[in-house]
């Protein structure tokens, strides 16, 4: 079993005997005491995490005591952030802070429950109108998180007679949404439009088909071939849902996202536009934007909208202000683009494999789990905060540091990180 890159493998841990009970269920005795399957999983995870900590390579859930843009303090040590999703460095922006404070004063810290019943505030409606305008759709709705938006929307749109066609590297929230929808799932090779066409062509003509994809892939940083995807969706009479978690504020001359990047103005290209407000937008919550009828349907069927609390008013107001700041300060998008190019080309020049990234998500492929953890530790010792991503979260042999660069980094910050990664890469043998 794999949990978030941590392999929980029965035979690898000793002393541990596997037994089968009368129903053929796995049971285990650990140090002589019989454990049920749940206790066994819990124990194994505990051991694995402890082993990582004992070796000094456990890199998850580190606590930042202070945050000032890309500058952090972790365990009393100053660090430069190289794994932030705050692509435009908007966290702490005065106008956004002010909007959150004003809304806090006006509405308090919480809501009176779920959006569907008593939780809808004026600030939610204003945010949704802002998103609809930003994404050029008739309407939009907000949800407690991006995860909830994908899960709830896919489950509400699809049923078991339908076919959902999903890129193999789509985010976990899409994978989970496809699963709980009950629809037939067809997965096509990553960004392979011929494979997508085969999946569409093999599907019965009369079946309802939804293609779903990330715009920018969260592990590799590459961009979906949207123009070809739209051509195929039209040819095969399918619908298209696109997750803009990592393209909103990032792609396109003015940060409006994937359509702007490809210069597409067709209002019928994407039927369901999903995004999150936890990355370039420094808040929390997910959104779906689309036609008036689609949003009306989803507001009455998406379970996290109906059964989970509304966004706190300060978060909603902060998100609305952030959309406005993206438009009023376009220089941030430009700086992000320049920093991205500088960081990727610097890594390539030093001999790193950064796959196919064209965005601020930059994989630094190490190819081996332990070396990846070691490189992360060396970087941390040098004051660079970056996170490891290990198979099976990524394909075997592509274990990596998944670095990100933002509009908040200066060229000297990036130079410093490049030097540290080079030194760490040489120490673990990725660079020679």
| Nearest to 385, CA basis, from 67, 92, 6, 93 | 67
Residue 103 a catalytic site member? no
Active-site residue, selected from the candidate residues 86, 173, 218, 283: 218
Q: Please report how close the Cβ of residue 165 comes to ligand PMP at its closest, in angstroms.
A: 17
Determine which residue in the list 137, 142, 166, 276 makes contact with ligand PMP, applying CB under 6 A.
Answer: 276
Per the annotation, the verdict on 218 as an active-site residue is yes
Of residues 169 through 198, those in contact with ligand PMP by CB under 6 A are 171, 173
Q: Of 154 and 230, which CB lies nearer to ligand PMP in the complex structure?
A: 154
CB 86 within 8 A of CB 279: yes
Instruction: Provide the 8-state DSSP code for 37.
Output: H
In the bound state with ligand PMP, the residue whose beta carbon lies nearer, of 169 and 269, is: 169
* CA-to-CA dists, residue 5 to 75, 146, 175, 388, angstroms: 25, 21, 16, 9
Does position 363 interact with ligand PMP (CB under 6 A)? The reply is no
Pick the closer one to ligand PMP by CB: 86 or 150. 150
* DSSP string of 274-288, one letter each residue: EEESSSSSSS--EEE
d(CA 284, CA 321): 13
166 catalytically annotated? no
Residue nearest ligand PMP, Cβ-based: 146
Binding status of residue 145 toward ligand PMP by CB under 6 A: yes
Q: At what angle do helices 146-157 and 172-181 cross, to 10 degrees?
A: 30
Q: How far is the C-alpha of 290 from the C-alpha of 262, rounded, in Å?
A: 19
Question: Residues 286, 313, 388, 425: which binds ligand PMP (CB under 6 A)?
Answer: 286
The reply to whether omega before 392 is within 30° of 0 (cis) is yes
- 222 forms part of the interface with ligand PMP (CB under 6 A): no
Number of residues that bind ligand PMP (CB under 6 A): 14
As measured in angstroms, the least distance from the Cβ of 84 to ligand PMP is 12
C-alpha torsion 161→165→171→177, nearest 10:
-10
> 279, 320, 368, 409: which one is catalytic?
279
CA–CA dist 232, 150 (Å, integer): 22
**Contact status: 40 vs ligand PMP (CB under 6 A):** no
For residues 225-264, which are near ligand PMP according to CB under 6 A? 243, 245-246
Q: Which residues bind ligand PMP (CB under 6 A)?
A: 145-147, 150, 171, 173, 214, 218, 243, 245-246, 276, 278, 286
Q: List active site positions.
A: 218, 246, 279
């Amino acid at each position: 079993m794999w949990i978030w890159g941590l392999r929980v493998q029965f035979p690898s841990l000793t002393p541990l005997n596997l037994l089968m009970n009368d129903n053929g269920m796995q049971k285990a005795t650990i140090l002589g005491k019989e454990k049920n399957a749940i206790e066994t999983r819990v124990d194994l995870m505990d051991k694995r995490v402890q082993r990582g900590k004992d070796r000094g390579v456990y890199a998850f859930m580190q606590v930042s005591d202070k945050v000032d843009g890309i500058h952090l303090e972790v365990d009393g040590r100053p660090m430069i952030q190289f794994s932030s999703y705050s692509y435009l460095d908007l966290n702490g922006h005065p106008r956004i802070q002010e909007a959150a404070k004003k809304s806090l004063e006006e509405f308090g810290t919480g809501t009176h429950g779920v959006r569907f019943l008593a939780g809808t505030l004026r600030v939610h409606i204003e945010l949704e109108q802002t998103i609809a305008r930003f994404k050029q759709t008739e309407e939009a709705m907000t949800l407690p998180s991006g995860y909830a938006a994908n899960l709830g929307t896919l489950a509400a749109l699809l049923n078991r007679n339908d076919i959902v066609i999903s890129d193999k590297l789509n985010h976990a929230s899409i994978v989970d949404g496809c699963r709980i929808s009950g629809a037939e799932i067809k997965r096509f090779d990553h960004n392979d439009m011929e494979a997508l066409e085969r999946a569409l062509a093999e599907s019965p003509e009369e079946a309802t088909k939804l293609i779903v994809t990330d715009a920018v892939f969260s592990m590799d940083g590459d961009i979906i071939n949207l123009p070809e995807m739209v051509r195929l969706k039209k040819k095969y009479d399918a619908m298209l849902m696109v997750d803009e978690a990592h393209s909103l504020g990032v792609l396109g001359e003015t940060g409006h996202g994937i359509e702007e990047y490809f210069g597409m103005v067709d209002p019928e290209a994407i039927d369901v536009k999903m995004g999150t407000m936890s990355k370039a937008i420094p808040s929390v919550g997910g959104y779906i934007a689309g036609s008036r009828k689609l949003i009306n349907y989803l507001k009455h069927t998406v379970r996290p909208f109906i059964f989970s609390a509304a966004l706190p008013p300060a978060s909603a107001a902060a998100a609305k202000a952030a959309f406005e700041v993206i438009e009023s300060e376009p220089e941030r998008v430009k700086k992000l683009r320049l920093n991205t190019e500088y960081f990727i080309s610097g890594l390539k020049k030093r001999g790193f494999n950064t796959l196919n990234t064209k965005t601020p998500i930059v994989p630094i492929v190490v190819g081996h789990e332990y070396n990846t953890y070691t490189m992360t530790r060396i970087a941390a010792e040098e004051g660079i905060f970056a996170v490891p991503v290990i198979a099976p979260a990524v394909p075997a042999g592509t274990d990596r540091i998944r670095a990100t660069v933002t509009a908040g980094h200066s060229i000297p910050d990036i130079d410093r990180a490049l030097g540290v990664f080079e030194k760490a890469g040489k120490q673990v043998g990725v660079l020679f």
